[in-house]
Structure 1
């Protein structure tokens, strides 16, 4: 019986020792700090690693995370200066710098930071209108960080950064803003289109002006050149006609024309008299010889044309091999004309035998042909 009691006492002692050792050894994780209380009062702070404390007297009441923490708060409805409600989401980046103050100066520092953030955002946004609120994220962040840093310093916290995730106005306001934005964009598009059309019209007018100026200058130069060409052409034509007249006049005087030349020119014009589509029959009168004699006598008496020309004739150089025999041509022409007259007279008196004068151009009318 005594042995059983002894064994039970030894077991109790061993169990107590094990429990005491378990309570005296504490392991603190990395980047954390343990707060030790002795009989309910703060004693010391334990860093990362194993530590020995007095069991049943000391205990690690809190283990504080010393890393930077990120807390995202739910959207909060905030009223702007122009009485419009907006929903704002915030994100806080903070770090515990004093674990004792964070534990004993505030009951729940995360809740305290959330509430402080809400009130600060309402104070800042309450002094802005909707448009300024939507475009002043940086100023809101700066004001919120300044207030949080000042208020949380005594809580052992350090607000690293404060960010506004989103600012959502009401649905009706968003629709109105979209319409306003669309109208503004349409107005800017219309302005840009009008400016483009104006620039296009200006450039087109300038181009037309330059084109008209260039066309006028081109027409003026063309008219000037055409007038100069006409003038030069008329001058050259007049000079050519003058030289031709001078050459013909000089040739006539050099040739010293007489009655035979005038008769030859008249005989050359007789075939042209018969030309024409309406001339079907040409009757040569028997008195043509007398007419020619009268014409010759009339032309002989013309002023400036001598009856006979004495002295040698001056011929116009026609080029090598081009000087015609004028006398031979004249004789042939006279013979042809006389033969044509005789044939016409024979046809006019039928039944009369043809005489040698009708066929021989060398025998005149009423003459006897020579015998061989």
Structure 2
């Protein structure tokens, strides 16, 4: 018993000194076969305490060896009923089963097993490689799943963003089109109003000016250079009213210059020279010389045209009577210039 004891010399002697504290015993690795016929090496650690020194001394010769053998047999029995994967993932269940069996067996020896731990479970190298590959594949699978989930979430968020962006862009385009249409409408209205006012102003000006055919012919002559611009072929349609207006305009110019208008013969353009200032004195000889020179130029132009119209060289062209216009230009005497103003 624990405590102070009296030993009688030569009668009593101390047989064993037993430590009543909790003890830790680590057993060497033992090969164990699992349910799926795999040999694994298992290390165990046992925490026990001697509760009855008399029973631990006289009930069993070597309680540590007995605990070791009992632990190995119980461990083989438990591991043989489970697979390797269960053995690796169910250590707590194995510890509880070992403790229950050992505590029941060592109770009559005066020993109490407090805890049993599996320090290590080592499968064969081939199984380790397979487990490593499986572990790597499982991790790759989880990584792929996580990556796919991330991509899915990213695509969803991107699609949502594009949707919102498209909606905002469409709304902006709609507002811009509405504003642009309103601006175009206002611009066309203002342009139409301006054109209407311009037409009214021009019409009023024309009405107030009382234009005649000569003015219209003059405006037509001013527009001819603009019509003739460009290299494309053009077809001009000249109204008959314009022709009559040009005839009237030619008659007016001829009467101003002192040359009678001839509507029956061909029209020939006559260069009347530079305009004469009415305030400058003009002598009769200079006016007559200018008119004579003009008549000579016209006659020379007519002769050149007749020579150009000759069919071929060496064949005389048939002579024709001069028309009324040419006869008028050749026979009509020049008008008498006005007398110079008195100084």
Band of TM-score, shorter chain = 0.5 to 0.7
Residue of structure 2 equivalent to 1:106: 60
Normalised TM-score (structure 2): 0.63
Residue matched to 1:220: 174
Alpha-carbon distance in structure 1 between the residues aligned to 2:288 and 2:87: 135
Structure 2 unaligned segments of length 5 or more: list them: 230-247, 257-273, 296-334
Larger fraction in strand: 1
Compute the TM-score of the two structures, normalised by the length of structure 1. 0.59
The answer to whether the aligner puts 1:233 opposite 2:187 as a matched pair is: yes
Alignment partner of 2:292 out of 349, 355, 358: 349
* Further displaced range: 169-178 or 242-251: 242-251
CA-CA distance at 1:151 after TM superposition = 1.6
Q: Out of 60, 78, 85, which is 2:39 matched to?
A: 85
Which residue matches 1:128? 82
1:130-173 deviation line (CA, Å, top 9, x unaligned):
11111110001111111222221211112121111001111111
The alpha-carbon deviation at position 91 of structure 1 amounts to 0.5
Residue 368 of structure 1 corresponds to which residue in structure 2?
339
User: Is 1:47 equivalent to 2:3 in the alignment?
Assistant: yes
Indicate the residue corresponding to 2:138 in structure 1.
Answer: 184
Counterparts of residues 1-372 of structure 1 (less than 5 Å) = 45=1, 47=3, 52-250=6-204, 256-257=208-209, 290-292=251-253, 339=277, 347=290, 349-350=292-293, 366-372=337-343
Counterpart contact for 2:214–2:249, Cα < 8 Å: no
Q: Return the alpha-carbon distance in structure 2 between the equivalents of residues 234 and 75 of structure 1.
A: 101
Residues of 1 paired with 2:96 and 2:19: CA distance?
26
Tell me, in whole angstroms, the C-alpha distance in 2 between the residues paired with 1:123 and 1:147.
11
> Match of 1:175, SS?
helix
Cα distance change of structure 1 residues 289 and 72 upon mapping to structure 2, 3 Å threshold: closer
Inter-partner Cα distance in structure 1 for 2:205 and 2:138:
97
2:158 and 2:34 mapped to 1: Cα distance? 53
Return the alpha-carbon distance in structure 2 between the equivalents of residues 140 and 128 of structure 1: 10
Distance verdict in 2 for CA 1:262–1:180, change over 3 Å = same
* 1:84-112 CA distance string (max 9 Å, x none): 11111110111111111111111111111
Q: Pick closer, same or farther for the CA change 1:293–1:76 going to 2, 3 Å.
A: same
Instruction: Using CA pairs under 8 Å that are at least 6 residues apart, name the structure with larger relative contact order, 1 or 2.
Output: 2
Offset at 1:266? 8.3
**Larger-gyration structure (1/2):** 1
**Judging changes above 3 Å, is the alpha-carbon distance between structure 1 residues 71 and 82 closer, same or farther for their aligned structure 2 residues?**
same
- The answer as to whether partners of 2:32 and 2:42 remain within 8 angstroms in 1 is yes
RMSD of aligned Cα (Å) = 4.0
Contact 2:287-2:337 at 8 Å conserved across structures: no
**Secondary structure of residue in 2 paired with 1:65:** coil
- 1:71 and 1:221 map into 2 onto residues whose CA distance is 86
Contact map agreement 2:288 2:337 (CA 8 A) in 1: no
| Per-residue deviation, 1:268 | 9.3
